[in-house]
Structure 1
Amino acid sequence: MKEKFLFILRSIFKLKDKIAFFPTLIAFAGSAFAYLMFYLESQGISKYLLDIVPDLVINNTDTARTLLTTITAGSISIMVFSFSMVMVLLNQASSNFSPRLLPGLISNRRHQVILGIYVATILYCIFTLISIRPSGNEYQLPGFSVLLAIVFMVVSLGAFIYFIHSISQSIQINNIMDKIFKKSSNRLLHLIDSEKDNKESFKSSDNWNSYKSYKTGYLQNISLENIAEIAKKHECKIEISANKGAFLLEKDILFKTEIELDEETLGGLHTNFDFAKSELIEDNYVLAFKQLTEIAVKAMSPGINDPGTALNAIDYLSQLYVLRLKKNDISFTYIDDIPWVFISTVNFSSLLYEAMASLRTYCKHDVILVKRLLTMLNNLKRLSTVEAYTKSITEEIENLKTDASHSIKNERDLALIASENFNV
């Protein structure tokens, strides 16, 4: 029962990344506020305010209807324009940078809230317009509600001005990369802080019971604490075989258990794995490496040819790899200092190779980019304290020099690349 409740909560929590989530909530709030004003008007709030502060109450039926109609039409126009700007942003980001950026841009909270303000204002004005009675009696006219509609329109205009500023900032690639870096670095630092210096490891899981995935999609999130509690309850070590962020087909092995578990327990375990059709950096820091690599590669395509953006992307990658050096390739989830769950993670060697394979292919002809990549790799080699990490970095340095030597023909450039310890 607890597992099902947590599954429902996680499903609701995932909705926050949908572009319509916050607009829907704010729209409901606007509608609810309109009905609250219906009740207050029935209690005579406009009559009371008309006696106390008559300047705050709209007391003419034609004026009220004209104002509400104008505000509604204006809000719809602003909302359509704003939504069109969002579509332009998404299209440009997909074309010029990387389609992987779209989920992060769609989930922008500020833009969602602004769209919600527009919708709430429109619904409030419509419901208030309906409540106007044709008799025109001054005490039946919702004058105070009409005044609040004017206030909401002013708020919408302020939100629109802020939206123009925000959208102009969001489209700049430097801001996009900075946002990617901050989200991924925060995630990496959290994972590093949660690691324990425990030398205990699981015994070989070759003979453990294997259980397959029941869905197809990206393994977006794993509730490790819940899985660890189940493991402790049944005194059964669990190994999660699939990497977080990996694309799984049905019947691919998802996890292994030390002992065989009953169907009810397995059902509870499966509810702790969330699948999705897209990925978010907040859930998987590896996606940041992919996005920054794709931005650099796209910038070096013949149609765009923007080496400056590629250099910036490499600089952000350098900072992320420095953080990744501090994280172990093996991760456990503990309860009372006892490891119950082993998590398969993308190891440093694979993470470095996947980025460098693409960068070497598209940047090997540009000596400036090759220099920056060699600087990044040499800095990582200097900072590395793990032998396996150092070995992978050395291999990538040699691979980059080999590919560059085949593409660059200038003797001075080749001499610079051949030197391993240069400084830029």
Structure 2
Amino acid sequence: MKQLYNRTLAFFSIIQSKIAFYPTTFAIIGVLSAFLLFYLEERGISRYLVDHIPFLVVNNSTTALTIISALMTGLISMMVFSFSMVMLLLSQASNNYSPRLLPELISDKVHQIILGVYLATILYLIFILFSIQPTGDKYQTPGFSVLIGILGSVICIYAFIYFIHNISQSIQINNIMDGIHNLAKIKLNAMIEDDSKSSNEFPSSEHWYEYSTEESGYLQNISISNLMDICDKKNTQIHILPITGTFVLKGIPLFKSKEELDEKTIKVILANFNLARAELVADNYLLAFKQITEVIVKAMSPGINDPGTAINGIDYLTELFSLRLLKKENNVIGRDEKAFIKINSVSFSELIYNVMASIRTYCKHDIILVQKLVIMFKYLKMQKMENTGNLKSIDLEAKTLLNDARSSITNTRDLQTVEKMAVDFGLKII
């Protein structure tokens, strides 16, 4: 039962990131609201309003038909325009920044909710339109339902105004990177907090029993509490082999167990791994490094040449790297001072190398960006870190960057600046 609950939560988390989730939810609410109003009309709510507050009720069938038809036409036009703006945003982000940004932009709840409000109101008006009986009898016109439709249309107009404001902000690369940075920061802080409760002691799993996945996908969420319950019950320990966020192929070893497991237990354990087909920063902080790195690389490509965006991206990377320094290299999770699960993670040295390998290619010829990156390295060396061995990785990346810059820059004055940065950093470049 608990495994089913966790799988349901994982499924809900996946569909929630789809662009059709909130519009579909609001559409159902709109239809249900129409049926609720049918019930209230049967109970005589329009008759009551005509008798007590007549100026709020449209009591003429022809007028009601005209109003609803005009509202529906306007709302459909607004919805088409809003949807076109969302597609324009996604196209521009993909072409100018990185296609990897699209899942985060698609999962923007503001755009989905506004489209859902439009759709709910349109469907509501369609159902109310069917209920109007143009016979001239004032009590056969659903006056209260029409009033609710008018109020819903007013809400849609204000939602449209807010949509224009929000879309103009969302399309700016600074806001896009800020959103990515904030999601990754939340995820990293949560992992650092979990590290403080974890243990560093875990036996070698070299000769343990190995079990493979039965499907392919990105390893996103893992139900740690369920896995610890299974380990406690079966008196075993589990070593999760793939790094969270990596693409796991069918048949590739997924985890190792200290004790041999029966087929039923294996299936229960596999049910606690969520293999998705899309990546989200909220599930995997490493994706934030990839996305910001790709924005920097795209900004410095010859076709775009936007060093200002690259400088902003380096600022965001600096803060994320400083947070990553506080995280342990491997997560060992336990309960009651007993270690149950070990989860592999990307080491800091590997992470900073992968990021800098891409950035150096497009930034080594620009002395301003080289200076900015050196400032980043200096800042990282001053930070508190979980593993002091990361200092060597930072020095190595700084030395590699300055060597590449020296071989790419031909201007004498810029070369002197590179030499001075190396001396200030305490490095001897080739």
Fold in common (TM above 0.5): yes
C-alpha separation in 2, matches of 1:55 and 1:38: 21
Question: Which amino acid counterpart does residue 210 of structure 1 have in structure 2?
Answer: E
- Normalised TM-score (structure 2): 0.96
User: Are the structure 2 counterparts of residues 9 and 384 from structure 1 closer, same or farther at C-alpha, using a change threshold of 3 Å?
Assistant: closer
Secondary structure of the corresponding residue to residue 284 of structure 1 = coil
Q: SS of 2:242's equivalent? A: coil
- What SS class does the counterpart of residue 383 from structure 1 fall into? coil
Instruction: Return closer, same or farther for 1:247/1:118 CA change in 2, 3 Å cut-off.
Output: same
- What residue number does 1:356 align with? 356
**Corresponding residue for residue 252 of structure 1:** 252
Percent identical across equivalent pairs?
A: 50
Structure 2 unaligned spans of 5+: 426-430
Q: Is the 8 A contact 2:199 2:334 kept in 1?
A: no
Contact 1:4 1:268 in 2 (8 A): no
1:11 corresponding residue in structure 2: 11
Which residue of the partner structure matches residue 222 of structure 2? 222
Root-mean-square deviation over aligned CA pairs? 1.3
Residues in 2 aligned to 1:264 and 1:197: alpha-carbon distance in whole angstroms: 31
Report what 1:408 is aligned to: 409
Contact 2:297 2:362 in 1 (8 A): yes
Displacement after TM superposition at 1:134 (Å): 3.6
Q: Deviations over 1:346-366 (max 9, x none)?
A: 111111001000011111110
CA distance in 1, matches of 2:286, 2:127: 47
* 1:199/1:156 CA distance change after superposition, 3 Å: closer
Is structure 2 residue 74 aligned with structure 1 residue 74?
A: yes
Q: What is the aligned partner in structure 2 of residue 285 from structure 1? A: 285
Name the CA shift for 1:308/1:370 in 2 (closer, same or farther; >3 Å): same
Please say if residues 216 and 247 of structure 2, whose CA atoms lie closer than 8 Å, have aligned partners that are also in contact: yes
- Change in 2 beyond 3 A, CA 1:5/1:186: closer
Give the deviation of 1:413 after TM superposition: 1.5
Secondary structure at the aligned position of 2:422 is classed as coil
Once the two structures are TM-superposed, the CA of residue 297 in structure 1 deviates from its matched residue by 0.2
Quick one: distance in 2 between partners of 1:198 and 1:188?
15
Aligned equivalents of 1:62, 1:336: Cα separation in 2: 73
Alignment check: 8 A CA contact 2:199 2:332 kept = no
Is 1:123 the counterpart of 2:116? The answer is no
Over residues 84-124 of structure 1, what are the superposed CA-to-partner deviations in whole Å (9 max), with x where a residue is unaligned? 00000000000000111100000011111100000000000
Partner in structure 2 of residue 95 of structure 1: 95
Q: Are the aligned partners of 2:198 and 2:332 in contact in 1 as well (CA < 8 Å)?
A: no
The CA distance in 1 between the partners of 2:356 and 2:44, in whole Å, is 71
Question: 1:140-179 maps to which residues of 2 (within 5 A)?
Answer: 140-179=140-179
Query: What is the number of equivalent residue pairs in this alignment?
Result: 423
Q: Matched residue of 1:308: which SS? A: helix
Residues 257-276 of structure 1: per-residue CA shift (max 9 Å, x gap): 00111111111111111112
Q: Could you tell me how far apart the structure 1 residues matched to 2:6 and 2:85 are?
A: 37
Where do 1:16-31 residues align within 5 Å? 16-31=16-31
- Native 8 Å contact 2:184 2:285 kept in 1: yes
- In the alignment, is the contact (CA less than 8 A) between 1:64 and 1:146 conserved in 2? yes
Native 8 Å contact 1:215 1:250 kept in 2: yes
Identify the range of structure 1 (188-197 vs 296-305) with the bigger mean alpha-carbon deviation: 188-197
Q: Is the 8 A contact 1:93 1:101 kept in 2?
A: yes
CA offset at residue 247 of structure 1? 1.0
Residue by residue over 1:245-266, the C-alpha shift from the partner in whole angstroms, topping out at 9 and shown as x without a partner, is 1011111111110011111111
* SS of residue matched to 2:245: coil
Q: How much has 1:382 moved relative to structure 2?
A: 2.7
Distance change in 2, residues 1:244/1:198 (3 Å): closer
Q: Distance in 2 between matches of 1:256 and 1:415?
A: 54
Q: Match for residue 34 of structure 2?
A: 34
Show the counterpart of 2:297.
Answer: 297
2:428 aligned partner? none
Task: Supply the AA of the counterpart residue of 2:129.
Answer: L
In structure 2, how many angstroms separate the alpha carbons of the residues matched to 1:394 and 1:16? Answer: 42
CA distance in 1 between partners of 2:106 and 2:131 (Å): 36
In the alignment, what sits opposite 1:186?
186
* Bigger shift: residues 193-202 or 51-60: 193-202
Q: 1:420 aligns with which of 400, 419, 422?
A: 422
1:241 maps to what in 2? 241
1:377 positional shift: 1.2
Deviations 1:119-166 (A, max 9, x none): 000000000000112423111110111111110110000000000000
**Partners of 2:414 and 2:90 in 1: CA distance:** 39
CA contact (8 A) 1:103 1:280 kept: yes
Do the aligned residues in 2 keep the contact of 1:17 with 1:106 (CA within 8 Å)? yes
Does the 8 A contact of 2:131 with 2:142 survive in 1? yes
Residue identity in the other structure for 1:26: F
Letter in 1 for 2:86: V
Residues 59 and 143 in structure 1, CA contact (< 8 A), matched pair in contact too: yes
Q: Which moved further from structure 2: 263-272 or 223-232?
A: 223-232
The aligned counterpart of 2:48 is 48
Over residues 359-415 of structure 1, what are the superposed CA-to-partner deviations in whole Å (9 max), with x where a residue is unaligned? 111111101111111111122123254332111111111111111111011222222
Secondary structure at the counterpart of residue 218 of structure 1: strand
Q: Distance in 2 between matches of 1:250 and 1:194?
A: 30
- Alignment of 1:138 onto 2:141: no
Q: From the superposition, tell whether residues 332 and 199 of structure 1 become closer, same or farther in structure 2 (CA, over 3 Å).
A: closer
1:333: how far off? 1.9
Matching residue of 1:365: 365
Contact 2:62-2:134 within 8 A present in 1 as well: no
* Cα distance in 2, alignment partners of residues 206 and 354 from structure 1: 27
| 2:267 is equivalent to residue 267 of structure 1 | yes
CA distance in 2, matches of 1:221, 1:41: 48
After TM superposition, the structure 1 = structure 2 runs for residues 292-331 of structure 1, keeping only pairs within 5 Å, are 292-331=292-331
Relative distance call for 1:200 and 1:142 in structure 2 (3 A) is same
Q: Mind listing any 5+ residue stretches in structure 1 that lack a counterpart? A: none
Change (3 A) 1:345 1:95: same
Report the CA distance between 1:197 and its aligned residue.
6.1
Label 1:319 to 1:200 Cα distance change in 2 as closer, same or farther (>3 A): closer
Shift of residue 5 of structure 1? 3.5
